[in-house]
């Protein structure tokens, strides 16, 4: 049966929240990140700032040079995470099949939702309207296709606040993909792209005209099949929800590779808080925490640590994330960062904790975390922020 997949990507998410909450900044070039006089990078920027060539992971010095009158504000990851939580509850009003990709994007499988909400275009418009109405005007761009790869490509076609539908006809899909650069194929990073370009592969059409046999000596057996299949619009991956999983995780892919430890840590903490919230919402505990780092060359590492006692509170999860992150040398710029928990259980056996917390302390941490969840849900995240989520200058 044909599937109907949406990829929803919030537009300039952090900057849009800042402009929403600070009306005096609307319509002006705004940069979320370190100030030019500080050592740091741009986290994201408003569309007004992008007209000056500013983009994510650019040095703040360069951003200030390109637009001296830009407004620079530090990231408020706790506030952004709370808005993200609200947006994901909107997604779940339309389908239970929601797969988070990062704090501001997700896949939705709406195949079974048409009887309630209409066709693909109608549903996309309803989701955009719900987001705007319930978040004070934030916008999202949506790609619609019969698989995840095509939907993600499409969501980037008409930013901001656009809807792009990829035709389901195979020949139309081939034509849609053909002119795109090969770097748009999932898994082709800078190194692989440069390597393939040396052999004449510049656009997806070049791969479509090739074969697995020709690609195999260049990228290996598994990658050859994957690249060739994606170039023809074939992607069998399903939308994976948390409810059927034995683990919970959240990842963020940077638009441009990031080498700023403060920004990486701030993002990691935001991801940790989101995983903790979802863990508590599902009334489960975790026995293992892990971080994931993908370098600029696409090499990926994971590091994990186990708890002697299953936990669900933000404090212990953040301690674990910090320990794993601090023990890892940042040898290259980071393309993706993630945090996850596994060994999920609905019960907890009382033992000594990894971080020398006794049971009373653990219970207090859990109660406080649940209280924070409730307060943020009711009053917004700016009411309470965990230390360290916002990068602090030296």
Q: What is the pLDDT of residue 368?
A: 65
Cβ atoms of residues 107 and 98 within 8 Å: yes
- DSSP designation for 59: B
Tokens 């993909």 belong to residue: 177
- DSSP designation for 19: H
Q: What is the mean pLDDT of residues 245-251?
A: 82
Exposed, middle or buried by CB within 10 Å (0-12, 13-18, 19+), for 188?
buried
List of residues 6+ apart from 90 with CB closer than 8 A: 127, 130, 131, 134
Q: How far apart are CA 391 and CA 394, in angstroms?
A: 9
Q: What is the mean pLDDT of residues 163-191?
A: 94
Q: What is the mean pLDDT of residues 235-263?
A: 83
Of 213-222, 259-268, 280-289, 313-322, the least confident: 280-289
Please say if 92 is a catalytic residue: no
Q: What is the pLDDT of residue 277?
A: 87
Cβ atoms of residues 319 and 355 within 8 Å: yes
Please report which confidence band the pLDDT of residue 365 belongs to, taking 50, 70 and 90 as the band edges: low
List of residues 6+ apart from 62 with CB closer than 8 A: none
| Strand order across the 42-45 sheet | 42-45, 30-33, 71-73
Q: What is the CA radius of gyration of the chain?
A: 22
Please report which confidence band the pLDDT of residue 389 belongs to, taking 50, 70 and 90 as the band edges: very low
- Three-state DSSP state, 307: strand
Marked catalytic residue, from 18, 99, 105, 366: 105
User: Architecture of domain 1-168 in CATH?
Assistant: 2-Layer Sandwich (3.30)
Top-level class of domain 245-381: alpha beta
SS3 content of the chain, % helix, strand, coil (to 5): 45, 20, 35
Cβ atoms of residues 297 and 189 within 8 Å: yes
**What's the CATH number for 171-231?**
1.10.150.20
- DSSP designation for 35: -
The helix or strand, by DSSP H or E, that contains position 32, with its residue range, turns out to be strand 30-33
Average pLDDT, the chain: 87
% of the chain residues with pLDDT over 90: 60
Q: What is the pLDDT of residue 371?
A: 65
For the chain, domain boundaries = 1-168, 171-231, 245-381
Q: How far apart are CA 337 and CA 325, in angstroms?
A: 10
Exposed, middle or buried by CB within 10 Å (0-12, 13-18, 19+), for 32?
buried
Tokens 């109907």 belong to residue: 4
Q: How far apart are CA 90 and CA 131, in angstroms?
A: 7
List of residues 6+ apart from 55 with CB closer than 8 A: 42, 45, 255, 256
Helices (H), 101-147: 114-117, 120-135
């Amino acid at each position: 049966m044909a599937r109907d997949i949406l990829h929803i990507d919030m537009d300039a998410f952090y900057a849009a929240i800042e402009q929403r909450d600070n009306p005096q900044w609307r319509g002006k070039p705004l940069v979320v990140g370190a100030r030019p006089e500080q050592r740091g990078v741009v986290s994201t920027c408003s569309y007004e700032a992008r007209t000056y060539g500013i983009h994510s992971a650019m040095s703040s010095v360069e951003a200030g040079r390109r637009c001296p009158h830009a407004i620079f504000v530090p990231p408020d990851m706790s506030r952004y995470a709370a808005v993200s939580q609200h947006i994901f509850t909107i997604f779940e009003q339309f389908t239970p099949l929601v797969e988070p990709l990062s704090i501001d994007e997700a896949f939705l499988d709406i195949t079974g939702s048409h009887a309630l909400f209409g066709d693909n275009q109608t549903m996309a418009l309803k989701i955009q309207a719900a987001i705007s109405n319930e978040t004070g005007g934030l916008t999202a761009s949506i790609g619609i296709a019969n698989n995840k790869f095509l939907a993600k490509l499409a969501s980037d076609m008409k930013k901001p606040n656009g809807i792009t539908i990829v035709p389901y006809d195979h020949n139309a899909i081939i034509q849609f993909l053909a002119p795109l650069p090969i770097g748009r194929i999932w898994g082709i990073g800078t190194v692989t792209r440069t390597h393939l370009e040396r052999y004449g592969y510049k656009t997806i059409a070049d791969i479509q005209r090739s074969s697995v046999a020709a690609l195999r000596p260049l990228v290996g057996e598994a990658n050859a099949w994957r690249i060739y299949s994606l170039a023809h619009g074939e992607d069998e991956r399903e939308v994976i929800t948390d409810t059927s999983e034995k683990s919970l995780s959240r990842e963020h892919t940077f638009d441009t590779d990031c080498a700023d430890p403060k920004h990486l840590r701030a993002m990691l903490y935001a991801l940790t808080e989101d995983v903790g919230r979802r863990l508590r919402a599902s009334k489960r505990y975790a026995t293992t925490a892990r971080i994931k780092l993908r370098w600029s060359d696409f090499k990926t590492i994971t590091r994990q640590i186990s708890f002697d006692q299953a936990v669900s509170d933000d404090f212990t999860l953040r301690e674990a994330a910090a320990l794993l992150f601090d023990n890892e040398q940042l040898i290259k710029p980071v393309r993706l960062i993630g945090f996850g928990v596994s060994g999920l259980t609905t019960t907890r056996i009382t033992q000594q904790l990894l971080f020398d917390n006794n049971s009373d302390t653990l219970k207090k941490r859990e109660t406080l975390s649940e209280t924070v969840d409730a307060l943020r849900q009711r009053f917004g995240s700016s009411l309470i922020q965990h230390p360290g989520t916002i990068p602090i200058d030296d």
